[in-house]
């Protein structure tokens, strides 16, 4: 199982590193022009990495990963909903600059996290990397939530005009589902979940960066 988890982390690291490097090179080569087609150039790999991350829920359920289940489910479902339901379904949103910002934040967090995980599988705890892994997320995760919320707000006019995912049932009941209302309600869920996850991130940071744990890892 340790070998399997290492290979999983390695695969995710390679995927997110490729995305991150591609974004940096494209920006240095084409400047602001590269921002508008971020989704078209790296969207496929991003979708693959995010779908692959669903396995992390399974890892926790079967007990090979000791992370807390609920915070991880929240983080993964947030990305799945925003990426596949909001961005992937609306071509007009895919060219917005917020997509580039969102992808950048996700990949900074994931490159650090999967690097830390790979080394931890081998019993290697590099203190600066440990500090970065459990500190950077506290700063960048709220920014990523704001970016997700902004992406949802940008998408609302398109969901309203195109009627994507909105359903009207005439038989046997006169019932309709107006998807923009669901997205607006999800914004509230997004920020409530953020408070819970930040609390969990602080707990993890304290558990891993406490004086006793640092001395133990150094020894």
| Percent of the chain at pLDDT exceeding 90 | 72
Taking the complete model, does pTM exceed 0.95, yes or no? Answer: no
Contact indicator for 90, 155 with CB cutoff of 8 Å: yes
Q: What angle do the packed helices 38-52 and 2-30 form, to 10 degrees?
A: 170
The label of the residue with tokens 């199982």 reads 1
pLDDT at 216: 53
pLDDT of 107 strictly over 90: yes
Tell me the per-residue pLDDT of 176-196, one tens digit each, with 9 for 90 and over.
788 999 999 999 999 999 999
Tell me the per-residue pLDDT of 27-46, one tens digit each, with 9 for 90 and over.
888 888 888 888 999 999 99
pLDDT of 212 strictly over 60: no
Tell me the per-residue pLDDT of 80-99, one tens digit each, with 9 for 90 and over.
999 999 999 999 999 999 99
pLDDT of 10 strictly over 70: yes
The label of the residue with tokens 């988890």 reads 5
Binned at pLDDT 50, 70 and 90, residue 213 comes out as: low
Q: Where are the beta strands (DSSP E) in 52-138?
A: none
pLDDT of 218 strictly over 80: no
Contact indicator for 125, 203 with CB cutoff of 8 Å: no
pLDDT at 173: 66
d(CA 69, CA 21): 30
Find the range with the poorest average confidence among 31-40, 70-79, 80-89, 145-154. 31-40
pLDDT at 31: 83
């Amino acid at each position: 199982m340790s070998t399997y988890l290492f290979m999983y982390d390695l695969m995710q690291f390679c995927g997110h590193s490729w995305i991150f490097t591609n974004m940096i090179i494209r920006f240095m080569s084409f400047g602001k022009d590269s921002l508008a087609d971020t989704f078209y150039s790296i969207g496929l790999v991003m979708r693959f990495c995010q779908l692959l991350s669903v396995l992390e829920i399974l890892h926790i359920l079967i007990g090979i990963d000791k992370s807390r289940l609920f915070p991880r489910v929240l983080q993964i479902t947030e990305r799945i909903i925003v990426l596949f339901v909001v961005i992937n379904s609306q071509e007009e949103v895919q060219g917005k600059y917020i997509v580039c910002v969102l992808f950048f934040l996700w990949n900074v967090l994931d490159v650090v996290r999967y690097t830390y995980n790979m080394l931890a599988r081998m019993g290697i705890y590099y203190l600066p990397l440990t500090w970065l892994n459990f500190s950077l997320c506290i700063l960048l995760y709220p920014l990523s939530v704001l970016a997700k919320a902004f992406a949802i707000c940008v998408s609302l006019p398109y969901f309203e005009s195109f009627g994507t995912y909105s359903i009207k049932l005439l038989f046997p009941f006169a019932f309709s589902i107006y998807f923009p209302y669901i997205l607006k309600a999800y914004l509230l869920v997004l920020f409530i979940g953020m408070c819970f996850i930040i609390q969990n991130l602080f707990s993890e940071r304290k558990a891993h960066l406490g004086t006793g744990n640092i001395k133990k890892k150094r020894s």
